[in-house]
Structure 1
């Protein structure tokens, strides 16, 4: 079931949302919902390839820590 959210914005933000919504032929409500959903999905979650990259970096860090603990390192001047 749909939920209602009340949002207070200043006149400049309202004008920006209204112009953008009109350009997309959407209601302001639908435009804000669409924009917020896409922003959240794009910026707050990682896809499988990003997670694979993150996990590979974690493995590299663990391997590096093991090398340091075993003395397999040297300083470069």
Structure 2
């Protein structure tokens, strides 16, 4: 098996979003840049967490009338749905 390092598949161009970025814009950026996740940063470009395709699916599923009781349901801001930075 070929040895693969973390830097091999990584993306060099970093595209990030802020906590106020709409889910629609996050989805567009994910598609445009062929990523499955984006860092969420503050005003000083410090990473607060990561929002992923999975986070969007969970949120959109939760907004469906049959799934309204699921975690991340209506009214949950992106900052609460995204994965927190480990620090």
- Measured against the shorter chain, the TM-score band is under 0.3
Q: Which structure's residues are more often helix, by fraction?
A: 1
Instruction: Select the structure with the greater relative contact order (CA < 8 A; seq sep ≥ 6).
Output: 2
Structure with greater Cα Rg: 1
TM score, norm. by length of structure 2: 0.23
TM score, norm. by length of structure 1: 0.26
